[in-house]
A and B are shown apart, each in its own frame.
Chain A
Amino acid sequence: DTAVSQTPKYLVTQMGNDKSIKCEQNLGHDTMYWYKQDSKKFLKIMFSYNNKELIINETVPNRFSPKSPDKAHLNLHINSLELGDSAVYFCASSLGTDSPLHFGNGTRLTVT
């Protein structure tokens, strides 16, 4: 199936650990994103990559580091996890600036 897929679906870890979330899209899109959805359901952009180049980097702690090995992949690595990092993280992709985003199913991160 054509889709945006991210792994893992659930991630439970302790404070201070380092973890990664992987994202892959097979839609042929040139732009990929990471969004964070907090407990109040607000979706906020974290990063955006176009053709492997970082183009949006919102005010996210530098413990968060995205990596795009190719156009179809955008991974998110988080160092020294904190309680406040608990949220659902969505990967998304789009074709160009004005196309709708296609979202993955999210990764629910719980930091204890």
Chain B
Amino acid sequence: EDKVVQSPLSLVVHEGDTVTLNCSYEVTNFRSLLWYKQEKKAPTFLFMLTSSGIEKKSGRLSSILDKKELFSILNITATQTGDSAVYLCTRSGTSYGKLTFGQGTILTVHP
């Protein structure tokens, strides 16, 4: 089974800090890597990455993919308490919509 490994498993920071979340994956049949944010309910989509070295940004969040080293990072700058959530990394392969998820990083931002 294709593996996705995230680190750290949990992270506690204070508002205003910058955090970097890591995701490594196996290369078999790789198509894209996606990041989701899960608060109490549904995971919500953040980024989809298919090309190496191209940073995607949305406000204080950004993400980049390294297809040579098989990893991605998610950066959050100037963290806010509303960023507290589980961040899920997932990769898609050739099977239709079959995403392999990592175990998630639990981010807690204290005021």
Contact = CB atoms under 8 A, between A and B. Distances in A.
A25 to B, nearest CB: 12
B42 A48 contact: no
Contact of A55 (B32, B96, B103): B96
Interface residues of A, number: 24
A46 B86 CA distance: 21
Interface residues of B, number: 23
A50 B42 contact: no
A98 B98 contact: no
A101 B96 CA distance: 12
Contacts of A48: 96-98
A104 interface: yes
Contacts, number: 59
A56 B32 CA distance: 18
A104 B42 contact: yes
Interface stretch (A11-19, A36-44, A68-76, A79-87): A36-44
A22 B36 CA distance: 23
A106 B41 contact: yes
A54 to B, nearest CB: 11
Interface of B: 31-32, 34, 38, 41-45, 48, 50, 86, 88, 90, 92, 95-99, 101, 103-104
Interface of A: 4, 31, 33, 40-45, 48, 50, 55-56, 90, 94, 97-98, 100-106
